[in-house]
């Protein structure tokens, strides 16, 4: 479509339909948007846009509504991302800055994103295997049990409690700290796992069985890919207000949101900037009436995403701005932690 006026008509129809949830007619467009032409001319433009697949007519004599193709054109070429107000930005920063740990950051991110967009918010925890080691602590918990705490550059705290094959003296505990910490601090977890495995033979032969058991648990913690699949969801009650926007009911959407694999698929692969996937672009057959706005966050290679899930009839400029802002603040907090 090279006709600028038709693009203006498409933009106006998307904006009006998102705002009113009513099919948009030519006379309403002329009155609201002052396009400088007659309703008859607008009707011709609307018919052309419909022929090209950007609009559809729900029933005879009704106005038009955007198709997924129309929304895609709007997002790619017509939408201007709304800047958040200074008050909104300060509120986000203040709310997130009160977080006490990573779980709290994720919980608060979900909450603020759901409130800003009135949609379902989804936040993936930072990847464990792509982070670096910030600290390891060994804490005896009585008997032959040891608590191992791993803190990563992304703020993740992983804990493992293990049964030791025998009693651990203070000298071995001090030896483990002295040998393991310098070897892995600042290392990517995948490389750190190999480094600690090489340390077993450096311990006294009498201490090697316990050292090997501890190293095995540490290595398992470093390479546990299941921890990369943790996701928090909030704002599902917001779907109720959009019930009429989905093809049948909101049930398929709710069922999809309960599936971890589906959520990871919806967020997609982490990449720079905000991405928008509309309808069939989500790759989930039961979510044809759904759109996902997502963004990667964190500058340490965490490979994590956050975003929103809502109907295709959404405020794309406002949602994109909110997702970008929350991703920026969360990433900044994790980088500074």
Per-residue model confidence as pLDDT tens digits over 113-171: 999 999 999 998 877 666 788 889 999 988 789 999 988 876 778 888 999 998 888 89
Tell me the C-alpha distance between 286 and 157, whole Å: 36
- Are 307 and 294 within 8 A, CB to CB? yes
Q: Pick the more confident residue, 194 or 28.
A: 28
Assigned token pair, 245: 């926007």
Per-residue model confidence as pLDDT tens digits over 68-88: 999 999 999 988 888 888 888
CATH architecture under which domain 133-227 falls: 2-Layer Sandwich (3.30)
Q: Domain 86-125+230-336: which CATH class?
A: alpha beta
Give kind and range of the element (H or E) at residue 55.
Answer: strand 55-56
Give me the residue spans of the domains in the chain.
4-78, 86-125+230-336, 133-227
Per-residue model confidence as pLDDT tens digits over 4-30: 889 999 999 999 999 998 999 998 898
Domain 4-78 has CATH 3.40.50.170: no
Q: How far is CA 174 from CA 76, 115, 169, 200, in A?
A: 58, 48, 9, 15
Whole-model pTM: value is 0.76
Per-residue model confidence as pLDDT tens digits over 285-300: 878 888 999 998 876 5
């Amino acid at each position: 479509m090279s006709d600028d006026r038709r693009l203006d008509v498409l933009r106006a129809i998307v904006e009006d339909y998102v705002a009113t949830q009513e099919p948009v007619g030519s006379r309403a467009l002329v009155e609201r948007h002052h396009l400088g032409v007659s309703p008859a001319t607008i009707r011709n433009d609307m018919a052309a846009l419909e022929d090209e697949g950007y609009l559809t007519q729900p029933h005879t004599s009704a106005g038009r509504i955007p198709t997924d193709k129309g929304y895609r054109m709007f997002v790619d070429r017509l939408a201007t991302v709304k800047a958040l107000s200074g008050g909104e930005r300060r509120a986000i920063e203040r709310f997130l800055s009160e977080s006490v740990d990573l779980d709290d950051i994720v919980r608060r991110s979900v909450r603020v994103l759901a409130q800003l967009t009135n949609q379902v918010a989804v936040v993936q925890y930072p990847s464990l295997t792509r982070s670096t080691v910030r600290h390891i602590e060994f804490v005896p918990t009585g008997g032959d049990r040891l608590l191992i705490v791993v803190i990563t550059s992304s703020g993740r705290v992983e804990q493992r409690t293990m049964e030791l094959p025998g009693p651990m003296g203070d000298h071995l505990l001090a030896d483990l700290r002295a040998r393991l910490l310098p070897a892995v601090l600042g290392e990517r977890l995948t490389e750190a796992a190999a480094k600690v495995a090489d340390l077993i033979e450096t311990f006294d032969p009498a201490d090697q069985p316990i050292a090997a058991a501890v190293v095995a648990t540490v290595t398992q913690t470093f390479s546990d890919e299941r921890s990369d699949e943790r996701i928090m969801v909030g704002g599902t009650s917001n779907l109720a207000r959009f019930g009429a926007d989905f093809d049948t009911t909101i049930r398929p959407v709710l069922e999809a949101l309960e599936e971890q694999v589906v959520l990871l698929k919806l967020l997609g692969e982490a990449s720079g900037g905000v991405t928008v996937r509309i309808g069939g672009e989500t790759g989930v057959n039961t979510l044809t009436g759904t759109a996902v706005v997502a963004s990667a966050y964190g500058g340490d290679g965490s490979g994590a995403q956050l975003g929103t899930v809502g109907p295709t009839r959404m405020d794309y400029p406002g949602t994109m701005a909110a997702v970008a802002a929350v991703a920026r603040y969360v990433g900044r907090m994790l980088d500074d932690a």
